[in-house]
Amino acid sequence: MNGETKTRLRITGLGIVIAAVVSTWAVGAFGQKATPGPGSAPASANAPATSAAAPTATASIAAPSKTPDALVERGLYLARAGDCISCHTGPSKVPFAGGLPMKTPFGTIVSTNITPDKAGGIGDYTEADFARALRDGVRRDGKHLYPAMPYTSFARIDDADMHALYAYFQRGVKPVAEKPPATDLPWPFSMRWLMLGWNFLYLEPGVYSPDAARSAEWNRGAYLVQGLGHCGECHTPRNSLTGGVKSTSDRRGDSFLAGALIDGWYAQPLRHTDRPTAAQWSSADLVAFLGTGRTSHTAAFGGMSEVVENSTQYMSKEDLGAIASYLQTVGAPAGSVPPAASPQAAVVAAADKHPDTLKLRAGTVEGAGAMIYLNNCNACHRSSGAGADGVFPSLSGNSVVNAKDPTSLIRIVLGGSAMPSTEKAPSALAMPGFGWRLTDANVADLLSYVRVTWGNKAEAVTPAQVAAVRATFKPADLALTKP
């Protein structure tokens, strides 16, 4: 998740220092941080011990064979599920050789080489070293990693999966001697020991502990979302002072997967809210979206396109179904049942006869927004806003259109977006940007119109909101969208 990770680190300098001071005081006053609860386990040593409770929740639905080759293949699958390649592949384009610069509020962090090369990579890491880096954020030399590495999520990975990942990165990845530039943050951020304070506040040790009241499929989905998939790193809002996510699981508050601004996009909520969200989709739509980057009525955009292209398209249908099973329950009202069909499908079906549709077809144009829509959007998204199945996303009932925060919607109109190219859906269909021809007032009028048409219910967009998003683009980038 190259772009997403660049702004995932919202840790301000003041926040790091405050975290360090708080942890020093807290440890002195109360002793060590609380130990993990029942079902948790410490980082694995060289022997791949596995807790008794973990297999039910985290073992694959289709268990692999135990041959060494199968172990490496299993590790490859898990590395893809964790999207390791996106952050650890830099300008050289050599997989896992590192070198990706990630800009943060306190300097640029450069991703490391994680190939098994002994000089440039992690070839000297033991399995215990590897597990400590992923779960505790500590390198082999004992120095702390910055949370560009989502070790607060990877702490949930169980011993069996950690063993498979280690086998893959030691035996399944080509060694590369390339040594990326070292991360060199200005003082005081260069003092990595300050991460002790941040970790005290935000790192919860212990692998995923299954919920005995839930099914194996649900627990598998929770394990993937909370752990290896690290979905909360982008889709959960962060503390504005220290930069840690406000909640790490559905058990720890309503902010988990509640949506967050990241890298100029609004990562959509993945839980039930008072607006349409992916958590209200059918299992079939969630599986299709994660596997191909599109459904009949919507499509991935921004950083999520990269996640689908590099990660989720390679996951099994069973694991994607497990993710769906879990997400459908996050924040769900008591007694609710996942729908057989996504609610948007009914909205799209009704849009053809909606009064707003009939007005447009009759040439009754009310307001500047409607006229801008007819001149720029109608050809693809149609007068009903229904688009075309699997090709042009529907605007009627769309969760992005109805989101409280219109940032992503504005960004798509200004700069355009492209669907991911996947094995099952190779066509990377794209929408051109209109920032080169539409003013801030034009875009505000257009989106304000779309957000209250065909049954959509969302706030108006202001020219000031559009101007703020436009300011994040380079003028040359918007010019490139010109046909």
Determine which of 16-25, 122-131, 344-353, 356-365 has the lowest per-residue pLDDT on average.
Answer: 16-25
Looking at residue 56, its pLDDT comes to: 39
Looking at residue 478, its pLDDT comes to: 83
Nearest to 322 by CA among 41, 81, 52, 66: 81
Please check whether residues 316 and 440 belong to one and the same domain: no
Please check whether residues 144 and 14 belong to one and the same domain: yes
Please check whether residues 289 and 348 belong to one and the same domain: no
Last residue of a domain, one of 322, 343, 364: 343
Determine the average pLDDT of the residues in 286-306: 93
Please check whether residues 333 and 402 belong to one and the same domain: no
Question: Residue 176 — very low, low, confident or very high, per pLDDT cuts 50/70/90?
Answer: very high
Looking at residue 243, its pLDDT comes to: 73
Residue 302, number of CB atoms within 10 A of its CB: 22
Cis peptide before 36 (omega within 30 of 0): no
Determine the average pLDDT of the residues in 209-225: 96
Please check whether residues 266 and 154 belong to one and the same domain: no
Determine which of 65-69, 279-283, 347-351, 468-472 has the lowest per-residue pLDDT on average.
Answer: 65-69
Please check whether residues 281 and 349 belong to one and the same domain: no
Q: Does residue 57 contact residue 156 with C-beta atoms inside 8 Å?
A: no
Please check whether residues 58 and 204 belong to one and the same domain: yes
- Model confidence pLDDT, tens digit, residues 249-262: 888 889 999 999 98
Looking at residue 483, its pLDDT comes to: 64
pTM, whole model, 2 decimals?
Answer: 0.84
- DSSP one-letter code for 418: E
Please report, rounded to a whole number, the percentage of residues in the chain having pLDDT higher than 90: 62
Six token digits for residue 152: 């607060």
Please check whether residues 141 and 14 belong to one and the same domain: yes
Last residue of a domain, one of 209, 231, 259: 209
Determine which of 14-18, 346-350, 359-363 has the lowest per-residue pLDDT on average.
Answer: 14-18
* pLDDT at position 64 over 50: no
Looking at residue 339, its pLDDT comes to: 87
- CATH number of domain containing 437: 1.10.760.10
**How many independent structural domains does the chain possess?**
3
What angle do helix axes 127-136 and 159-171 make, rounded to 10 degrees? 120
Please check whether residues 191 and 236 belong to one and the same domain: no
Cis peptide before 188 (omega within 30 of 0): yes
Six token digits for residue 46: 């060289």
Please check whether residues 222 and 195 belong to one and the same domain: no
Please report, rounded to a whole number, the percentage of residues in the chain having pLDDT higher than 70: 85
Last residue of a domain, one of 209, 242, 259: 209
- Model confidence pLDDT, tens digit, residues 328-351: 999 999 888 888 888 888 899 999
* pLDDT at position 354 over 90: yes
* pLDDT at position 43 over 80: no
71 is in which domain, residue-wise? 2-209
Nearest to 166 by CA among 120, 123, 205: 123
